[in-house]
Structure 1
Amino acid sequence: MGWRIYAASAVGSSHLDKGIPCQDACAFHVSGDVLTAVVCDGAGSAAHSDIGARLIADALARALGERLGAEPDLLEASREEFFEAAADAAAQARASVVERARADGRALGDYAATVVAYAGDARRGWFLHIGDGIGVAEAGEGGAGAVVSLPANGEYANETYFLTGEGWREQLRVLEVPAPTARLALMSDGAMPFAMARGNAALYAPFIDPVSRYLATVDEDEGSRALHGTLADPRTHGITSDDKTLLIALRA
């Protein structure tokens, strides 16, 4: 059995009104049975956070995916050992943004972005998380055995943490997913109002279940296009004005 991955980002109405590009990004890497998937949300106040989100998503998916492809036993390691592997990959992703900021002659904070990511195989996995966004790994249909990696905010609800921040390592969280994942969802906070149930304890079944059933009938390209259409539907603007990113991975 392998992974089928569907992912899309859609610009929010507040950005459409101001002519601002989508500041979300997502990426994934598959090596054998190991999936590494990443969703990043660029800070709305940062001038080039769209670039930061894209650089971080791509670099983190690649760095951690290649590491786990070479050392799949890391998924069976202790929390401390996996944390170090995740931190090493995050440091590589951060370095790619540092290099870009220097080349552009801009402050690193101009590229600020959060990270929510998952790495796992057919037996188990881990979330890694800096800032907001959310990750859900379900062991079976209907949310059975769901593990949820929740957002982290600062003192105020509209504050969060970024990989580009000085204290990024202290804000890096890892969360074990001890059972096989049948359905994975990673999303930026813009998708949470309609994709998550109240209290963020589980995925919102009336939304996610029909979407997943459809995705299971089509290939990844077609499914990702359909997912983009759902996220970009003007009816979502009445729920959230933010950019929306959703990555769904199903065990084939």
Structure 2
Amino acid sequence: MPSWTWAAASRRGTSHERLGEKRQDAFRTLFVAASDTVVLVACDGAGSAARGGAGSAIAARVLSRCARDVLAEGRWPSDDDVWDWIDLARDRIAAAARRRELVPRDFATTVVMMISNGSDTLVVHVGDGAAVVRDAATGAWRAVSWPAQGEYASTTFFLTDDGGPQVRIAREAVAVDRLAAFTDGIERLALDFAAERAHAPFFSGMSKPVAAAEVSGWNLPLSTKLGDYLSSPAVNARTDDDKTLILACLR
């Protein structure tokens, strides 16, 4: 029977390191055996937010658990389910803000969430970062959801935005065998902005050892190697932001 295997890592950007700040990205991964479905969530706390890292951690935790609960019921998530998850995540962030005498925007975070059983894929996206899949039939990589830019350069949208978040929900009914979810720290490595498409050589090279590994579930050794790559001088020379990448393969 086909099974999902994945590697995931998140590393602090050099800009935060220089200032003695904590990493503000967070991620969650899980597998729901009842539906042979993998859930990937990568969140990026806003650098301008006082508690962006806490916001990203709350969002990743709440959204992954909500998805797990719906899938465990044997249901594929509806749009109403997704909006319930978003509302709950916003409520949890608002509660955390009240306890600290802060406001939700102090916990601002983006969201990239992917749910797939290989035949159907659901993407929930707020802000920048991106979700990429590989077509199982053709081997072609493509971005299912592209980074969203705000009104001004170098700005984006957040889960905590006043008046409700700019949530994009994408559904794919095409067979896929590899997934990638990542925050904006590696956009310039992973995406071809001139052509507005996924940079296939990057994803092919990065996912190849994951697909070849004889491990189901979270591959810890490869995740460690992925983390080493994300914090390498070659990557840090191109971005000083936090970096999170999740690579999942259906074998």
Is TM > 0.5 for Structure 1 vs Structure 2? yes
Q: Give 1 or 2: higher helix fraction.
A: 1
One-letter amino acid matched to 2:162: E
Deviations 1:201-229 (A, max 9, x none): 44323332222122234441111111101
The structure-2 alpha-carbon separation of the partners of 1:111 and 1:190, relative to structure 1 and needing over 3 Å to count, comes to same
1:127 corresponding residue in structure 2:
123
Q: Quote the residue 1:50 is aligned against.
A: 53
2:177 aligned partner:
182
TM-superposition CA deviations, 1:69-106 (whole Å, max 9, x none):
214244xxxxxxx2211111111222221121112221
Q: What is the aligned counterpart of 2:90 among 91, 94, 100?
A: 94
1:140–1:182 CA contact under 8 A, matched in 2: yes
Q: Work out whether residues 162 and 168 of structure 1, in 8 Å CA contact, stay in contact via their aligned partners in 2.
A: no
Alignment RMSD, CA only? 1.8
In 1: Cα distance, 2:157 partner to 2:143 partner: 22
1:147, CA displacement in angstroms?
4.5
SS in 2 for 1:207: helix
Shift of the alpha carbon at 1:131? 0.8
Assess if the C-alpha contact under 8 Å between 2:70 and 2:76 holds in 1.
Answer: no
Whole-Å separation in 2 of the counterparts to 1:95 and 1:178: 31
Percent of aligned positions that are identical: 33
The aligned counterpart of 1:78 is none
Cα distance, 1:143 vs structure 2: 4.8
5+ residue gaps, structure 1: 75-81
Report 1:1-252 matches (<5 A): 1-32=2-33, 33-74=36-77, 82-140=78-136, 143-144=139-140, 146-169=142-165, 171-199=166-194, 201-218=196-213, 219=215, 220-252=219-251
Task: State the alpha-carbon separation in 2 of the partners of residues 223 and 83 from structure 1.
Answer: 34
Q: Secondary structure at the match of 1:193?
A: helix
Give the drift of 1:110: 1.0
- What is the CA–CA distance in structure 1 between the aligned matches of 2:139 and 2:156, rounded to whole Å? 27
| TM-score (structure 1 length as normaliser) | 0.90
Q: Deviations over 1:96-129 (max 9, x none)?
A: 2112111222121111100111112131111111
Contact 1:115–1:163, Cα closer than 8 Å, also in 2? yes
Aligned residues: 244
